Amino acid sequence: MKSVLKRSALAMLLVSANIYFLNAQTNLSKYEVGLSGGVFVYQGDLTPQQLGSYKTLKPQFALHLYRIVSPSFSVRLNVNRGKIYGNDAKYSNPEWRQQRNFNFTTPVTEISAQGVWSFLAKREPRFSPYLFAGAGISFLKIKRDWSNINTTVFGEGSDVQNGLAIDASKSLPRVIPVVPLGAGVRYSLSDRFSLLGETSYRLSFTDYMDGFSKSANPGKNDHYLSHSIGLIYSFGKKNDKGIGCPKW
């Protein structure tokens, strides 16, 4: 009799666990889509600021497509569109920047795949900071301008003029690899909608993103970053829908 009761209890426990598992699986949103907007920040030879040129911010927007792997980890496809701009003349210190007077602009279309780790998702599902990293490519169309250089300061034979001769002969990159690294915060408004705010830094592997290298600072590559806020929409069945149990 006891063995029958034990087997019955075990069977009920297994059935209950299986129902719970199916219910959790059914209610979990596997896919999400997001939209965000913000600014691109140029970091390179045409700014003295180590954290980037906040005097030449340009708008950007992005589409995010998520595939949830677990409560704390997801992968996402990002498509970003915006512009990057740098200008020596925006900076009066050091003074020679306004005399060199280089500037550039380029549209940017960036496509990347990223892994997103929400390290407090299990404890604080409503408010979740996260880290992310990935790889991608950026499409550029660089327009550079050195026509306003002060030749009385940077004359023939100077390092700047000699470097310009080399830079002018270079074909500028149209596609570059990038490595996005960043952090953000997500706040759940409801089962369907969440707010996000994030900062993303892009490592690049070229010193010609701004069109200048030998005439500027050939020892460092150019990079860019973004600050953005946005909204995420979650697909899938939610907790209030259950698994289609019969009505009594």
Which runs of E-coded beta strand occur in 93-205?
A: 103-117, 127-140, 143-145, 175-188, 193-204
| pLDDT recorded at residue 191 | 87
| pLDDT recorded at residue 124 | 63
CATH number at residue 51: 2.40.160.20
In a domain, 243, yes or no: no
Helix (H) or strand (E) segment spanning residue 166: helix 159-168
Cα(108)–Cα(243) distance, integer angstroms: 45
| pLDDT recorded at residue 23 | 44
| pLDDT recorded at residue 199 | 98
For the chain (248 residues), the mean pLDDT of every run of 10, in chain order, is 42 41 52 98 96 97 96 96 98 95 98 94 78 98 97 94 96 98 96 96 97 95 98 76 38
| pLDDT recorded at residue 236 | 74
pTM of the predicted structure, to 2 decimals: 0.82
| pLDDT recorded at residue 126 | 84
Tokens 């006891």 identify what position? 2
**How many domains, the chain?**
1
Structural domain containing residue 177? 27-234
